Structure 1
Amino acid sequence: MLHKLTFQSLMNKGMKRFGDLPAITLLPNGETITYDELWKKTELITSYLLRLGAGRGVRIATIIPNSLESVMFGLAIQQCGATLVPLSEKLGKREIQFILKEAKPEVVIIAAQTHFDSLIKYLGEMKKEDVHVIGLPGFNSNYPEVFERFHWPGEINNLDLPIAEEDDIALLSYTGGTTGTPKGVMHSQKGLGAAILSAAIEDPLDDRDRVLLSTPIVHSAGSLLWRSLVSGVHIYVMGSFDAAAFIQAIKEHKITTTFMVPTMLYRLLDQTKKMEYDMSSMRNIFYGASPISQKRLKEAFEVFGPILRQQYGMTECNIVISRLSKSAHVWAYHNNPEVLKSCGKPCILTEVRLIDENGNDVKPTELGEIIVKSPAMMVGYYQRPDLTREYLRDGWFYTGDIGKWDESGYLYIVDRKKDMIITGGMNVYSSEVERVVNRHPSVALSACIGVPHPDWGEVVCVVVSLHEGLSCTSEELIDFCKQRTSKYMVPKVAYFLDQFPLTPIGKINKKELRKLFAQGILTI
């Protein structure tokens, strides 16, 4: 019986219902585990962690690439009532060291040939008896002697599970740090439980569905994974995204649902022009995490059919701010393509307001900061009461996104406050510039950034990646923009890259692009 709404209780009750149904298949080797097997192995890990002292309030960090182990250890940590601190092996040394120093996890579980130096340093800074660094076998990692080795318990010796309370911190998820120092986002047991329920209502899935995940489980894919496990979904996990392998997996395994960021969707579209494909089994493509090109979204609609579902969320809000449904995509495509630029309407458990600088609600078509209230929101930022007070006020989370409503109640994100460029006293929203640049037939991807300038404060610059086999000059692109947007929004310079620096979840890393100018590699 579900006495309280906690993430722990939902997962424990949900996963026990599906017995011999397949739970997870690891690609490309095809290793499959049923729900019963997943449950039994998770209990063994839980028993192991309890012997290490895991329990309520204990922070356990993981550095595990997409794998069966990443799923099982994440579930076991929740079974213990402990706090999961999921870290990507793709994080930089600075970020890992900062997170370890701030979060001070009592246990760190690693399954990657990375960050050994940082973990050895962390062990040296902590009392050895107060922390365990556990290396998992089977990942081609030669662990240092100071690491402990994980061994599967022969039997379950202790499963006196600590029962989590609704206010316990279930997840400490660190932002990517693309705008500065990583921030630890605290999610309560109740908040994560509410996020699962909201996703289940917004995105119905059941034991007939087959979900393909190729983005890191430590990010948005993890939310879809948890949401899928409580519904008996068969989940297929890839170590990383490869467009050709992805298309082949959809055909071979009759995949019905997946999640991807826009850059992945573009690569998938490009790959369909190079190989035969069969996506007739697909009924959901969730996309989000960064702005999408309207031109390429229409192309995706024409190639894949009416199966696209957009989601707008943030680490702080558990991906449940707003949705643009499949039916809204269909209506917009045929009647009002402008709506394809929107991020839909607020989710069922979420309230959304747009406010001006005085805290007053703005009228439709006027710009305002997006603020959000939801039971799935974060509790606050770990060890940062100053930031918590800044972003959480009177029960509302201030997203830092600038948006607008249309007359039909669709929400549009115009830009991040921090990505807004002020040039000659004029406000330029980088996403608006990108939308113009992306309309050029040669442009595959673009990123607009502000670069410091002694006269203008900042100048508008775009960095562009071109479609294979097509060409374009900086002068041509600037002239293209002059004919289509306001003078102060026209880029002063355009640079071309074969490949963008990306964050671990596939978003263009504007921080790295700004570094190219700061280091003099690119100049105005």
Structure 2
Amino acid sequence: MIESKPWLKLYPKEIPATIEYSSDPIQTYLENSAANYPDKVAIHFMGKELTFKQLHEEAVKFAGYLQNHIGIIKGDRVAIMLPNTPQAVISYFAILLAGGIVVQTNPLYTERELEYQMKDSGAKAIVTLDILYPRVTKVMPQTGLKHIIVTCIKDYLPFPKNLLYPFIQKKQYGLVVKVKHEGNSHLLSEILKMKPLKLTKYEINPDEDLALLQYTGGTTGFPKGVMLTHKNLMANTTMSEKWMYKCHPGEETILGIVPFFHVYGMTVCMLLSIKMAGKMILMPKFDALETLKTIHKQRPTLFPGAPTIYIGLLNHPDIKKYDLSSIEVCISGSAPLPLEVQQKFEEVTNGKLVEGYGLSEASPVTHTNFLWDVERVKGSIGVPYPDTEAKIIAVGSEEPLPPGEIGEIVIKGPQVMKGYWNRPDETAEVLKDGWLYTGDLGYMDEKGYFYVVDRKKDMIIAGGYNIYPREIEEVLYEHPDVVEVVAAGVPDPYRGETVKAYIVLKEGAKVTSEEMNQFARKYLAAYKVPRIYEFRDELPKTAVGKILRRQLVEEEKKKIDEQNKNHA
């Protein structure tokens, strides 16, 4: 076992190589915490708090309504289109308690994106905000949606914020939507005032029954519904808990900024917090100043995030006014964590910030760095979680590669998905004999630490050389005036592709392309140095903060096509 998993030699004694998992469905996390910690605060939301007992009671009440009034039976899909609010957590567990499958939906989706996902998933109902109600009603006729459950931010705000919120909403969004509890429109606030209805408990087989359809980002073609079972999610949450062995059930406070409609936020923040009976501080969106104030006041101990969140905080001019010392553990996911960012954030908080690695298809975490007791390795995504196998294979073949050689990272473990929803051919492309082919290029060192070099699809081939964007980005992040950077391959008539760097500078900084070029040449081989620099005020990102490299490449291709048309 050690020979095939050299990283097990590195595990501190507190982390088991293998775990005995519960055979209960995911909703038992909430049931157990409500039974063991009924009066403990489960959720803090802008001043309003809910105990585990209250959270469980509301989820059960909503689940009974879903079964009795909306007709949800085992296996029905119900979408959640909400930011991080108490209603998002209540809805998630209510759907599972009712026997349904959760479909996570981004509140920023356009009508076209929403229509596609609702059609593809076959969702029967959707839980959404009042301000999104008009968007949902427009797509309903084209989909299988039969019911909309509507909620309002103000419903879970304390007095007097709940009275002021409609005025803020009108100012911010230009509208206040009034929805009546009638027909196929249902108000969550009205549902929770009703007496509990009989709840049918379905038998759940955690190994086979789906808990979640998690849609991929759609950076390559249409988004696909990743089928995650109760066992997948339970395994990954348990692995994360074992990894954080110095954290204590019932004692931790978790900052919930990473959106729960992203699988990373859902597992490492929401599910882990509910399992450990932690207090979740929910924030519907990332705002650097509000986040600094919240950390200062609420004293979170765990802070799952993404690199752009940590970068945003580090570059806020008022960061020194706030006490961030409560933070003990941060695991960064969704995008590569620049070394410079890790070091600066640890200096500011005295906590541990480590990079993890995963993907929606693995619930999502497969690798992470050690938090304590083991020396960390710079630039590594860490080692595989317990019960997780990983290896590097030659691209285009099944041949395992020795340490130090770059190939595709493939993974096997109880957190790996069942497959893509209604896509057997695409499932077969990435799942082979239980191994998940990630599409990421990397290597493993002699000790068992893994390194991601880049996405297979993001690798730049310029003049016959293979160039990995992450290596270029790591160098440019070291420039004192750089806040964010992404490198991409853009079309070039001579080299095939050439390297372009898109850069966001610190406020007030002035750096020329030539100065940046000279800086890059100190640390990169000539063929890797960007030939083009573009300075921007911001970079396009997903809701979870991942920079959209492909969008920048597509913009570049369109520019070239336009130029060619004009020359023609």
TM-score normalised to structure 1 length: 0.92
In structure 2, list runs of 5 or more residues that go unmatched: 1-20, 155-175
| Whole-angstrom distance in 2 between the partners of 1:93 and 1:216 | 20
Which residue, out of 364, 382, 397, partners 1:319? 364
Query: Any idea what SS the aligned residue of 1:222 has?
Result: helix
Q: Which residue of 1 aligns with 2:266?
A: 222
What amino acid sits opposite 1:271 in the alignment? H
Query: Any idea what SS the aligned residue of 2:559 has?
Result: coil
Q: How do 1:86-165 and structure 2 match up within 5 A?
A: 86-114=104-132, 116-117=134-135, 119-126=137-144, 131-137=146-152, 140-143=176-179, 148-150=185-187, 151-153=190-192, 154-165=194-205
Range 391-400 or range 441-450, more displaced: 441-450
Q: Which residue of 1 aligns with 2:292?
A: 247
Which residue, out of 59, 76, 86, partners 1:42? 59
What amino acid sits opposite 2:199 in the alignment? L
Which residue, out of 70, 76, 79, partners 1:61? 79
Q: How do 1:469-480 and structure 2 match up within 5 A?
A: 469-480=508-519
1:63 and 1:109 in contact (8 A); partners too: yes
What amino acid sits opposite 2:204 in the alignment? A
1:175 and 1:182 in contact (8 A); partners too: yes
Query: Any idea what SS the aligned residue of 1:172 has?
Result: strand
Answering whether residue 484 of structure 2 is matched by residue 445 of structure 1, we say: yes
Range 509-518 or range 379-388, more displaced: 509-518
| Whole-angstrom distance in 2 between the partners of 1:507 and 1:275 | 26
Q: How do 1:186-265 and structure 2 match up within 5 A?
A: 186-204=227-245, 205=247, 206-219=249-262, 220-223=264-267, 224-265=269-310
Query: Any idea what SS the aligned residue of 2:543 has?
Result: coil
Shift of 1:401: 0.7
Q: How do 1:393-408 and structure 2 match up within 5 A?
A: 393-408=432-447
Which residue, out of 169, 172, 175, partners 2:216? 175
Q: Percent identity?
A: 31
2:115 and 2:143 in contact (8 A); partners too: no
Query: Any idea what SS the aligned residue of 2:62 has?
Result: helix
Query: Any idea what SS the aligned residue of 1:90 has?
Result: coil
Shift of 1:310: 2.6
Q: Deviations over 1:299-329 (max 9, x none)?
A: 222222242233211111113211112237x
Range 493-502 or range 451-460, more displaced: 451-460
Range 93-102 or range 205-214, more displaced: 93-102
Q: Deviations over 1:66-99 (max 9, x none)?
A: 2111110011011112100010111233322211
What amino acid sits opposite 2:177 in the alignment? S
Q: How do 1:342-381 and structure 2 match up within 5 A?
A: 342-357=380-395, 358-381=397-420
| Whole-angstrom distance in 2 between the partners of 1:65 and 1:509 | 21
Shift of 1:164: 1.8
| Whole-angstrom distance in 2 between the partners of 1:133 and 1:209 | 35
1:115 to 1:355, Cα distance in 2 relative to 1, 3 A: farther
1:211 and 1:234 in contact (8 A); partners too: yes
Q: Which residue of 2 aligns with 1:416?
A: 455
1:119 to 1:397, Cα distance in 2 relative to 1, 3 A: farther
Which residue, out of 309, 314, 331, partners 2:375? 331
| Whole-angstrom distance in 1 between the partners of 2:500 and 2:305 | 27
1:64 and 1:111 in contact (8 A); partners too: yes
Shift of 1:32: 0.3
Root-mean-square deviation (Å) = 2.3
Range 488-497 or range 281-290, more displaced: 281-290
| Whole-angstrom distance in 2 between the partners of 1:248 and 1:58 | 41
Answering whether residue 41 of structure 2 is matched by residue 22 of structure 1, we say: yes
Query: Any idea what SS the aligned residue of 1:519 has?
Result: helix
| Whole-angstrom distance in 2 between the partners of 1:192 and 1:381 | 16
2:409 and 2:440 in contact (8 A); partners too: yes
Q: Deviations over 1:138-183 (max 9, x none)?
A: 5653459985122225211211222322211110000122233111
1:207 to 1:274, Cα distance in 2 relative to 1, 3 A: closer
1:95 and 1:177 in contact (8 A); partners too: no
Shift of 1:241: 1.4
| Whole-angstrom distance in 2 between the partners of 1:421 and 1:401 | 14
2:115 and 2:142 in contact (8 A); partners too: no
TM-score normalised to structure 2 length: 0.85
1:486 to 1:513, Cα distance in 2 relative to 1, 3 A: same
| Whole-angstrom distance in 2 between the partners of 1:267 and 1:138 | 25
Answering whether residue 346 of structure 2 is matched by residue 296 of structure 1, we say: no
What amino acid sits opposite 2:302 in the alignment? T
**Matched residues, number:** 511
Q: Which residue of 1 aligns with 2:542?
A: 503
Query: Any idea what SS the aligned residue of 1:388 has?
Result: helix
Answering whether residue 84 of structure 2 is matched by residue 84 of structure 1, we say: no
Answering whether residue 327 of structure 2 is matched by residue 282 of structure 1, we say: yes
